[in-house]
Structure 1
Amino acid sequence: MQTPLTPLFVASVTVSYRLVLARLVWWLSTQSSLFIKRTLDVLAVAPALLLLSPLFLCIAAAIRLEDRGPVFYWQPRVGRNGRTFAFPKFRSMRVDSDVVRQQIEHLNQHGASVTFKMKKDPRITRVGQWLRRTSLDELPQLWCVLKGDMTLVGPRPPMVAEVEKYSLADRRRLSVTPGLTCIWQVSGRSDIPFPQQAAMDVDYIRDRSLMLDLRLLLATVPAVLQGRGAY
């Protein structure tokens, strides 16, 4: 003898079906956006690396001529879901910068914070001052975007030592692929204390969209030209 389906059971099945369908639609939408974002990254960065290669050579020559040290500074950074990757910059500091930092740690303008920032950092070379003011030291990270370790827009990838100081809330910054620029990079950069940086990154993660990425990319140009917080 068949037991008739109760209204409560039918309602439960209907709600479950709708939840599964909504979740599927959300997942497909997210994957579609990520695919478009990745495609745009590659289409923008691949030709940019070729066009910028003469500038790369000029910067490399200037760095070598100043102190004969290495052109690039490689550092492990933390990406999406805590995965580390090799993060390059044009070297803007003395070759012994890591040792000197231990001696000037007490001068951190961000106080007892996760990040270390100092406007007149004695480790920065003369060429490095120009590179940082114009943000040209960041250009090698285009290679990370091409590889997929980074994207054009997203929270900046933190250092391993910084992540070790993160609170559980701060770790939300690691839930997406890191980027070259984001909200706090166009809002004052290093002048903004870490708690506010983290809050802005969480805002981006919550509201991220291709349109927001485009607005942030456009806002990055005047931010770089103004040089506010670039040190």
Structure 2
Amino acid sequence: MLFANTCIDNFLNNPQAVIKVAESCEYTNDGVSPGKRSEPLHKVNYNLYNHVNVKILSSLYPNESETIQYKSYSVFQKIPAGIDYDGWVHTDKRSILTAIIFLSESDAGTSIYEPKDSFYTPGDDSIKREFFKNPNSFSKEQKEEYHKTRESWVSDYNETISYKGRYNRMICFDGHNYHNAHVHKGLEDRLTLITFFDEITIKDKNIKYPLPTIRGS
């Protein structure tokens, strides 16, 4: 692990302007994520993409906003109301840092977990991926099996941190943390802006990561 968990409220100075960009996007089902996602933000609005990502990283490296460099993937995500989509515990294995900005009034947030058994985590999530592709195609019996499988999956973990969803709240955490999105039960779509950082560097400096630095002192 390289990064500690961070939670900042009132994160964006003008969240409505960001929501306006989100509303201009087309959304598609990628078959591996709950709900639908937009095109990558750097293709939609590069200036917004860079502004938000530098702002996120400045919360970790406040003196390096002019020299911080990164590789990342940012997308808007909409999860429809009334569909029991999420709750699956997972990691973002290719991401050294994952950031989520909540842009709706839904209190469905994100939790951090740890495995109950250090030598075992469940591996077969094929039913999840089938459900994510087309939840409306599932029969009543298939939905019951889906919920049963998910409950069994989550039961292999202990929840250690729970962040409620809150309008204009940003959370970020090491992508290797086990985590899940809370099941969205609101009346409107749950809108978030999610960023996966693959690489973070500082120009002309050797970057220091928070957790190794703290634990080595």
Q: TM-score by structure 1 length?
A: 0.23
Structure of higher CA gyration radius = 1
Superposition TM-score, scaled by structure 2 size: 0.24
Q: Per residue, is there more strand in 1 or in 2? A: 2
